[in-house]
Amino acid sequence: MKSRVSIAPWIGVGIAVVLMGLAMLLPWALDQNVYVRSFPPLHAEWMPRVGPGTIAAVILAIVAIRYATDAATRLPWRWLLLGSFVLAVAWMVSLATVDGLDGIGVILDTQYEYLNTARAVTDFGATLREYIAHIPLDSVDNWPVHIAGHPPGALLFFVVLVQLGLGSGLAAGFVVIVVAATTPVAVLLTLRRLGAEKGARLAAPFLVMGPAAIWMAVSGDAMFGAFAAWGLCALAYAATSARMRGVAGWGTLAGLLLGYCVMLSYGLPLLGILSVAVLAIARNWRPLPWAFVAAVAVVLAFVAGGFVWWDAYPVLVERYWDGIATRRPITYWIWGNLAALAFSAGPLVGAAVAVAIRGAAPIRSVLSRPIVVLALAATLTILAADLSGMSKAEVERIWLPFVPWLLVGTALLPERWRRPGFAAQVVFALIVQHLLFTGW
């Protein structure tokens, strides 16, 4: 059994690296246009560079590689949470500012993103009522790509920022970074609540620092991921509450957050898989009706305002297939998506999934079950998203809400893998950010 366990990470990393290599080489070797920028499987350009954030990023990487693994296992819990948040902010900012402040302030201001439209919204109720009509490509004043591709909850978030005076690209970028940096905190709290504090501590460095930060720093999808993480965290609290008041209160909060996720992205109903996993780990289904009713209430509130999710989705599918999706070959992207995910989550995600599939690890004595179940649920979620045909390319950004739940599987890695594995993730992030311009 020991030999089988030890070989699982190698198999996982090997598969991830092979997928990444093939996804880069085959389009070039076959002269195949897979319709992303010049560096498939990523929507990125080859652009070697250093910049203002380089020194800070390298210093953070060196310090983290030396101390983070030990600190995560020894720090008092509250300091681990605070340190995770602060380090996540610092890591994202340092990587983004390799391109100077433009690395934070320009991306959300592009024509494809939410801010320009958010600044023009003067009556959100009217926007809701007209939302579906502006999705089709042949409609008058059709929405920009990201707004058309998402329910109006995403636009509403940025409308609120504009109303609060945070509507510049730079201000909104920093807000997204701060919100995204709470994601590892939510995941750690979830694991601890489900009885896997030691696993949370072992996974913490991988959750805080890695290549996903490159895309999280400037992407609305990172904000979606934070809402999802806190929704699942609230569900874990509900499922482990001894009193009915806690079940109802936390369950309602979970439903509100996860229901709003449905209004942030058409792909986030897949969070239902992870939600079921949380309840199964806790062996408590009492929060389900509270969470379900609250989630439905959020969706129905948008219906009352004029936006009907189930009417909008078929229109979105039609626009998707009227656009670039028809030109992106499914024969490449059905596996190229997984290669892009390995770039975003880091190659060690393969090892995390592999040891979760094996279901055995050195930390079995400290209740590895929550780690295994969550990592496998995240894997199932990714497979469902991939097989849907609605995710062809750009998943290094789109699948950010699912990445932390895959990476919890790093807690199952053998001890000899942990420190070098974390170092590999951090160094890989530095390499990707300094060689590629991702545009997110």
User: Residue 358 — very low, low, confident or very high, per pLDDT cuts 50/70/90?
Assistant: confident
Q: Which pLDDT does position 337 carry in this prediction?
A: 98
Whether the link from the prior residue into 152 is cis, omega within 30° of 0, is no
Quote the radius of gyration of the chain (alpha carbons, Å).
Answer: 21
Q: Which pLDDT does position 324 carry in this prediction?
A: 84
Query: Does residue 2 surpass a pLDDT of 50?
Result: no
Residue with token string 């009556």: 123
Residue with token string 């059994």: 1
**Are the beta carbons of 93 and 51 closer than 8 angstroms?**
no
User: In whole angstroms, what is the distance from residue 272 CA to residue 286 CA?
Assistant: 16
**CA-CA-CA-CA torsion sign (398, 401, 406, 411):** positive
User: In whole angstroms, what is the distance from residue 95 CA to residue 93 CA?
Assistant: 6
Q: Which pLDDT does position 168 carry in this prediction?
A: 96
Q: Which pLDDT does position 368 carry in this prediction?
A: 84
Tell me which residue of 403, 435, 416, 439 sits closest to 208, measured CA to CA: 403
pLDDT tens string 261-293: 999 999 999 999 999 999 999 999 999 999 999
Q: Helices 77-96 & 54-74, crossing angle to 10 degrees?
A: 160
- As a whole number, mean pLDDT of residues 221-236 equals 98
Task: Determine which of 72-81, 84-93, 277-286, 385-394 has the lowest per-residue pLDDT on average.
Answer: 385-394
Q: Helices 169-181 & 220-239, crossing angle to 10 degrees?
A: 30
User: In whole angstroms, what is the distance from residue 432 CA to residue 440 CA?
Assistant: 13
Amino acid at 34: V
Token pair belonging to 324: 């670039």
180 Cβ neighbours under 8 A, 6+ residues apart: 88, 92, 216, 217, 222, 223, 225, 226
Query: Does residue 361 surpass a pLDDT of 60?
Result: no
Q: Which pLDDT does position 40 carry in this prediction?
A: 96
375 Cβ neighbours under 8 A, 6+ residues apart: 352, 353, 356, 405, 406, 408, 409, 412
**Are the beta carbons of 197 and 388 closer than 8 angstroms?**
no
Task: Determine which of 3-12, 351-360, 386-395 has the lowest per-residue pLDDT on average.
Answer: 3-12
Q: What does pTM read for this prediction?
A: 0.96
Q: Which pLDDT does position 139 carry in this prediction?
A: 87
pLDDT tens string 377-434: 999 999 999 999 898 999 999 999 999 999 999 999 999 999 999 999 999 999 999 9
User: Residue 367 — very low, low, confident or very high, per pLDDT cuts 50/70/90?
Assistant: low
Q: Which pLDDT does position 363 carry in this prediction?
A: 43
